[in-house]
Amino acid sequence: MTPDPDLRRGIRGLLLRRLKKKARAFQLLKGGRNSRVFRVDCQDGSAVAVKAYFQSDRDPRDRMRCEVRALRFLRLAGLNQTPMPLAGDRARRLAVYEFVAGRPLRAGDIGGAEIDCAVEFLRALKAIADSGKGRRLPAASEACFSIDATLRNLDDRFRRLGRSSAGHPALADFLRDELLPCRRLAARRCLDFCLKHGIAPGAQIPWSERTLSPPDFGFHNALRRADGRLVFLDFEYFGWDDPAKMAADFLLHPAMRLPPALKRRFLSGLMAAWPGAPKLVLRLRAVHPLFALKWCAILLNEFTLDHLARRRFAHHNANEPGRRTAQLQKARRMLAQVTHDHHDLPGLP
């Protein structure tokens, strides 16, 4: 699929104006749900990746600016496992990146070496954070620096789902009978855990315990080059965050579904490499069930109008009834994980 005529003109103009390249052919690549990504072959024989970003009045986040700034910063800091930004057009919400020749990772491709690579990448981000170079960068999207902030963020998502449940009896029943009761139970357990271990729910963690984080980090957003090296993609939400949230998101992300052995390897590797690991262990145990609940809500975004608009922008198949049924089943499975795990995580002392 090629871009529509207006988008094609915009891409051609950007490449010619900024890179002195003439676009020859366009190919839509499989990508995220907030953007369209094209491989553009140029007349000089080179290829680039061009990303068109979604934006709406309901979601004012400037994903393009965040991603371009993040990738430029990381490259300047010496982290090369990410694409190089080449040019941008903020008015048209277009960005040009180096084209990464690689293949997506399948579930069977992920083993110990890949987990170690992910841990090393996150460790490098922490080292950059500790250097003080990134203090001017913003907080990551939906960053949570306290237990109370995590609970507020969770409730905001549940309220949006509640507003979207009108006309969707299955969603309304799931919220009323399963998700909200589990949220109340998880919050009570979390606060009891905090009291037991001396964690102040309203206290923000200090700068020294924060890190730079790509919230949608994982092997679903990675490519393997021909030489075996991994390149990590999608930094639209990059910024400062609590490493406990970063770790929980990696472990819970439904696009990966890591087996317990690889989760153990990730956690043990992260804790071995992380300064202040004992505090991080406690916070991770405290918030892990809450972020599992948040992932339940994220999986149910298919019921919201804004999410539907993003999917249509990105040219995803918009078979809403079928998608919603499937996502509701995924949310049920994620909810079962909340009730099973509590604060016990494989690999944590």
Whether residue 175 sits in one domain with residue 265? yes
Stretch 75-88: mean pLDDT:
95
Whether residue 222 sits in one domain with residue 82? no
Stretch 88-114: mean pLDDT:
94
pLDDT at 336: 85
Q: What is the domain count for the chain?
A: 2
Residue 176 scores a pLDDT above 60: yes
Domain of residue 68 covers: 5-99
pLDDT tens digits, 7-31: 999 999 999 999 999 999 999 997 6
**Closest residue by Cα to residue 182 from 330, 324, 341:** 341
Q: What is the CATH number of the domain that holds 49?
A: 3.30.200.20
- For residue 118 the two structure tokens come to 């992910």
- For residue 291 the two structure tokens come to 């972020």
- 233: which residues sit within 8 A by CB, 6+ positions away? 82, 83, 100, 221, 222, 223
Residue 341 scores a pLDDT above 70: no
**Which phi-psi region, left, alpha or beta, contains residue 198 (left: φ > 0; alpha: ψ -120 to 50)?**
left
- 10: which residues sit within 8 A by CB, 6+ positions away? 89, 92, 94
Separation between Cα atoms, residue 177 and residue 328, nearest integer Å: 14
Least-confidence region, from 174-178, 235-239, 246-250, 253-257? 253-257
User: Mean pLDDT across the chain, nearest whole number?
Assistant: 90
188 assigned to some structural domain = yes
- What percent of the chain lies above the pLDDT cut of 90? 74
Whether residue 257 sits in one domain with residue 110? yes
Whether residue 137 sits in one domain with residue 13? no
Quickly list DSSP for 86-133: EEEETTTTEEEEE---EEEPPGGG--HHHHHHHHHHHHHHHHHHHHTT
Give kind and range of the element (H or E) at residue 27: strand 23-29
- The last residue of one of the domains, among 74, 99, 124, is 99
Q: In a 10 Å sphere around its CB, with 0-12 CB exposed, 13-18 middle and 19+ buried, how is residue 341 labelled?
A: middle
71 assigned to some structural domain = yes
Three-state SS for 155-196 is HHHHHHHHHHCCCCHHHHHHHHHHHHHHHHHHHHHHHHHHHH
Whether residue 218 sits in one domain with residue 174? yes
Stretch 38-42: mean pLDDT:
97
- For residue 127 the two structure tokens come to 């080292």
Residue 249 scores a pLDDT above 70: yes
313 assigned to some structural domain = yes
Stretch 340-349: mean pLDDT:
57
Residue showing tokens 């972020």: 291
List phi, psi (to 5°) of 95. Answer: -135, 145
Separation between Cα atoms, residue 300 and residue 174, nearest integer Å: 11
pLDDT at 155: 95
